[in-house]
Amino acid sequence: MRRGVAAGALGGALVLMTAACSGGSAGGGSTDATPVAAKSTAAAAPKPTVSAAVLSIEPKNGSQDVKPAGPVKVSVASGKLTTVKVTDKDGKEVPGSVAADGVSWVPKAGLSVGTRYRVSAQAADANGLVATAESSFTTLTPDEDAGPHDNISDGQTYGVGMIVSLTFDRTVKDKAAVEKGITFETSDGSVVKGHWFGGTRVDFRPEKFWTPGTKVTIHYRLKSVEVAPDVYGGVDADEPFVIGRSQVSTVDVAKHEMQVVKDGQVVDNIPITAGKPGFDSWNGTMVIKEMAERTRMSSQGVSGITKGDEYDLDDVPHAMRLTDSGTYVHGNSWATGAMGSYNASHGCIGVEDARYGSNSSDAGKLYNSSLIGDVVTVVNSKGPKVEAWNGLSGWNVNWGEW
């Protein structure tokens, strides 16, 4: 600024001098002199040293019990964001993106519960001057979770009809958030989708039966998902399982016969007895969901039971459960004359067996060749079609509806 003032003074002196030196020649003639114009030498404006960009970070510094879903927002006025970094206590960075206009940033996913985060942001104004801001906050630790549990054991081998069934102890309100938090990794690229039965159960399956040998891993990322107001999913885990060989059995109630097809080849035709009139077996595709070498079966709770028709059997052998309502394929030693001849059960599929079970019986051989997840389809029964929620019977729902 001092140099500018000096230059202005000098310019003024030059103008005055030119005006005073207008004179004639020695010969007495006169010569007209062209005056020199004055130069503007106003002082230059000072350059700013502080950025005009104003950063704003939410949540505010020191915030506690922050909900993990979309809490972080970074914005700037009078500038453009250049850097935004959000990290947890271990230095793991939260992915996010700056908006196209450069004035805001949001994370690409929710944060984790019970975690401290640090936010560092920078922005530049029109002159390139940079402003910085930092903040830290802690997300809430849930008081309760929804208690999710499924029917999968790590590393287990299942049949080609296996359906993954996930049940919650609390009603789920945000079903879309739950579905987003569950992904399936399949070795053959099979697409797996979920279908809800009420507010506490969601089942998952591919469009068609699994391909034998497929390796599957379920990725649960629900711990930080708010499934209902103030209730969180409660689990972050990976569960691998494998699909074994294919075994699909068809029970023809009219013929009193079960045909067993393994890997595309018929391996057995087994005489059976199915549900008698009034206790007709379900039609439709079912899946073996539980297996027990011996189990107890009772008529208690079975509708339609009349006096004298009650039963309570505590040692039913080779029992393979198909439905929640109590349909089994099981060994039968008390009605062996019915096998292949007539229907005598209360809805189950009976297969000839010894009193306490024999590995060499039809029931024993079928049991020992079976897996949880194997398919059993019942046809030609006078009973109704099994509901999709009853056991793992979701294969009775077409893919478009599923």
Q: How many Å apart are CA 358 and CA 394, to the nearest integer? A: 32
The highest-level CATH class for domain 54-139 is mainly beta
Residue 398 pLDDT greater than 60, yes or no:
yes
Domain with CATH 2.60.40.3710 in the chain: 149-243
Q: Is 348 a catalytic residue?
A: yes
Higher pLDDT residue, 262 or 5?
262
Q: How many other CB atoms sit within 10 Å of the CB of residue 20?
A: 7
- pLDDT for position 286: 98
- Return the closest-CA partner of residue 318 out of 359, 374, 259: 359
Q: Is 330 a catalytic residue?
A: yes
Domain with CATH 2.60.40.3780 in the chain: 54-139
Q: How many Å apart are CA 206 and CA 254, to the nearest integer? A: 31
Which pTM does this prediction carry?
A: 0.82
* Token pair belonging to 322: 């198909």
Query: Span 49-55, mean pLDDT?
Result: 94
Q: Which of 256, 318, 346, 348 is an active site residue?
A: 348
Q: Which of 256, 318, 330, 346 is an active site residue?
A: 330
- pLDDT for position 283: 98
Please report, for residues 78, 250, 302, 334, the alpha-carbon distance to residue 319 in angstroms, rounded to integers and kept in the order given: 73, 17, 18, 15
- pLDDT for position 277: 93
Q: Residue 157 — pLDDT band, cuts 50, 70, 90? A: very high
Residue 96 pLDDT greater than 70, yes or no:
yes
The strand pairing partners of 242, in sequence order, are: 157, 215
Query: Span 318-329, mean pLDDT?
Result: 96
Phi-psi label, residue 368: left if phi above 0, alpha if psi -120 to 50, beta otherwise? alpha
- pLDDT for position 39: 53
Higher pLDDT residue, 351 or 39?
351
**Most confident residue range from 8-17, 33-42, 107-116, 168-177:** 168-177
Instruction: Identify the sign of the CA torsion 224, 228, 231, 233.
Output: negative
CATH for 149-243 is 2.60.40.3710
- Say which CATH architecture domain 247-299+309-393 belongs to: Beta Barrel (2.40)
Domain with CATH 2.40.440.10 in the chain: 247-299+309-393
Residue 156 pLDDT greater than 70, yes or no:
yes
Residue 178 pLDDT greater than 60, yes or no:
yes
- pLDDT for position 298: 73
317 CB-side CA count, 13 A: 22
